[in-house]
Amino acid sequence: MLYIGIDLGTSAVKLLLMDEEGHIKNTISKEYPLEFPQPGWSQQNPEDWKKAVLGGIPELLASFDKSQVAGIGAGGQMHGLVVLDENDQVIRPAILWNDGRTAKEVEYLNEEIGREKLSALTANIAFAGFTAPKILWMKKNEPENFARIRKIMLPKDYINYILTGVHCTDYSDASGMLLLDVEHKCWSKEMLDLCGITEAQMPKLFESYEAVGTLRPDIAAQLGLPETVTVCAGAGDNAAAAVGTGTVGEGACNISLGTSGTLFISSDHFGVDPHNALHAFAHADGHYHLMGCMLSAASCNKWWMDDILGTQDYSGAQAAITDDMLGRNHVYFLPYLMGERSPINDTNARSVFLGMTMDTTRTDLTQAVLEGVAFAIRDSFEVARSLGLDIRHSMICGGGAKSPLWKKIIANVLNVELDTPASEQGPGMGGAMLAMVACGAYPSVQAVCDKLVRVADTVHPDPAIAARYEERYRQFSQIYPALKALYPKML
């Protein structure tokens, strides 16, 4: 049988077709626009996601027997606020994960409601990207639209609704809304009340690998698929990517180097970082995970290459960076192009190059961008270490992981072994694997990961380079604290 995986990203949806043995039969990508109506704002029209998915699936299946498709699973960008009216029509553009308009709402939640109370209710504190602050912003700034809300959901849940007619979400994605009691896996009535919404407005909760329904007859006809195709709840993009890299079970780790960057640590047990620098979320395997998320990772390099240097030759720009240069760069880069989440939680933070001199070269700056992202990942890694987690190796995925140089830098900055999966398809592969479990092809998420995930190569840290980076990281870690007080004055 065949399974469709949907990776509903920020700039495009990526669709893949996969069989039960893990062979990728086909992939396609459909781009859609991203809106920045004001500085720091980021939103999208959910109808663009719908058109991309419904238009892309027939293309994906064009040369295949559609009757063999058994299931569909999605991994999607997290936190985005999708609101529907009484006719299930989209009320306004979705406010996305990297939107920074909710600074006042975040301050209200963390300072007036209180971090300790939020953590007790949801296992997390408020971040600008989370959904609850967006709801409060909408309530204050768009009261007419707020009054029309009949359903609140997340981006990939809107796609699942289009496919099945079911208002649903999964625990991993819901964990990032600041509305879920993560430990007990239920909506927090106190948080819903605080936001002025009801449980009736929330989608039904499922485990990621559970079936939420089958295709609506009209959608099945439009796609040319059987109405019996099972759609699973799916997962937030990081949890889905973790499944795709086999990052399940106690202590498994994955670094995702996509538009955003994440450090993902799987656990069989619920646990909370006492400082809430790392998110405590449910995992797609039915258990839990800790996660550090930086808002700009591979997008920093894309910005640097595309917008500043004006080139698409990424590998060419990195070719001049040799091993002897690693850990010796005199230029630092703070990767806060969209503010920052983990672990500093500062929407006012901005990027900066520091340490340039008359002999600084374009190559030095390119290296600084790559290293700055690695150092910021190390910031979350340090929090994990402070909790007693001893991480010696990690999987790595995402577009940035296609760079051998960047992987070498990260391996040495973190001083860990980095494994690259043989089939690196991110959240889409994880979504398809979750669909296999929903359809009964595998008994559990652990089982499908054990069967399908293989390591293609491993990058080992070099003791000499790692030692040099240790010193550079200690210097990097002093830059943000020195600049923190200046950022609000620059707005």
Question: What local confidence, expressed as pLDDT, does residue 92 receive?
Answer: 98
| Shared-domain flag, residues 265 and 131 | no
Question: What local confidence, expressed as pLDDT, does residue 215 receive?
Answer: 98
338-377: b (≥16 Cβ within 10 Å) or e = bbbbbbbbbbbbbbbebeeeeeeeebbbbbbbbbbbbbbb
| Shared-domain flag, residues 43 and 7 | yes
383 lies in some domain = yes
Distance between terminal CA atoms of the chain? 55
The model's pTM:
0.90
Is 289 annotated in some ligand binding site? no
| Shared-domain flag, residues 172 and 97 | yes
| Shared-domain flag, residues 200 and 285 | no
CA–CA separation, 406 and 318 (whole Å): 9
Question: What local confidence, expressed as pLDDT, does residue 258 receive?
Answer: 85
| Shared-domain flag, residues 222 and 252 | no
| Shared-domain flag, residues 190 and 212 | yes
439 lies in some domain = no
| Shared-domain flag, residues 20 and 128 | yes
- Is 236 in a helix, a strand, or coil? strand
Question: What local confidence, expressed as pLDDT, does residue 461 receive?
Answer: 98
Contact 283, 270 (CB under 8 A): no
| Shared-domain flag, residues 181 and 307 | no
Question: What are the beta bridge partners of residue 169?
Answer: 205
Contact 98, 10 (CB under 8 A): yes
Tell me the HSE value of 232 on the side-chain side, using a 13 A CA sphere.
35
Provide the residue-wise pLDDT of the chain in tens; the chain has 491 residues.
Answer: 999 999 999 999 999 999 999 999 999 999 999 999 998 899 999 999 999 999 999 999 999 999 999 999 999 999 999 999 999 999 999 999 989 899 999 999 999 999 999 999 999 999 888 999 999 999 999 999 999 999 999 999 999 999 999 999 999 999 999 999 999 999 999 999 999 999 999 999 999 999 999 999 999 999 999 999 999 999 999 899 999 999 999 989 999 998 889 999 999 989 898 888 899 999 999 999 999 989 899 999 999 999 999 999 999 999 999 999 999 999 999 999 989 989 998 889 999 999 999 999 999 999 999 999 999 999 999 999 888 888 999 999 888 999 999 999 999 999 999 999 998 788 999 999 999 999 999 999 999 999 999 999 999 999 999 999 999 999 999 999 999 999 999 87
Question: CATH code at 86?
Answer: 3.30.420.40
Q: Among 238, 267, 287, which residue terminates a domain?
A: 238
Q: Please report which helix (H) or strand (E) contains residue 120, including its range.
A: helix 115-122
Amino acid at 154: L
In sequence order, the 6+-apart residues with CB closer than 8 A to the CB of 14 are 6, 7, 27, 28, 29, 425, 426, 428
Contact 420, 257 (CB under 8 A): no
151 lies in some domain = yes
- How many structural domains comprise the chain? 2
CA–CA separation, 454 and 202 (whole Å): 38
| Shared-domain flag, residues 224 and 278 | no
| Shared-domain flag, residues 92 and 41 | yes
Contact 30, 13 (CB under 8 A): yes
450 lies in some domain = no
Tell me the catalytic residues. Answer: 237
445 lies in some domain = no
Q: Among 221, 238, 255, which residue terminates a domain?
A: 238
456 lies in some domain = no
Q: Among 183, 203, 238, which residue terminates a domain?
A: 238
| Shared-domain flag, residues 140 and 89 | yes
297 lies in some domain = yes
| Shared-domain flag, residues 160 and 263 | no
444 lies in some domain = no
Is 153 annotated in some ligand binding site? no
Task: Write the DSSP string, 398-417.
Answer: SGGGG-HHHHHHHHHHHTSE
Question: What local confidence, expressed as pLDDT, does residue 374 receive?
Answer: 98
Can you give the residue range of the structural domain that contains 382? 246-423+461-491
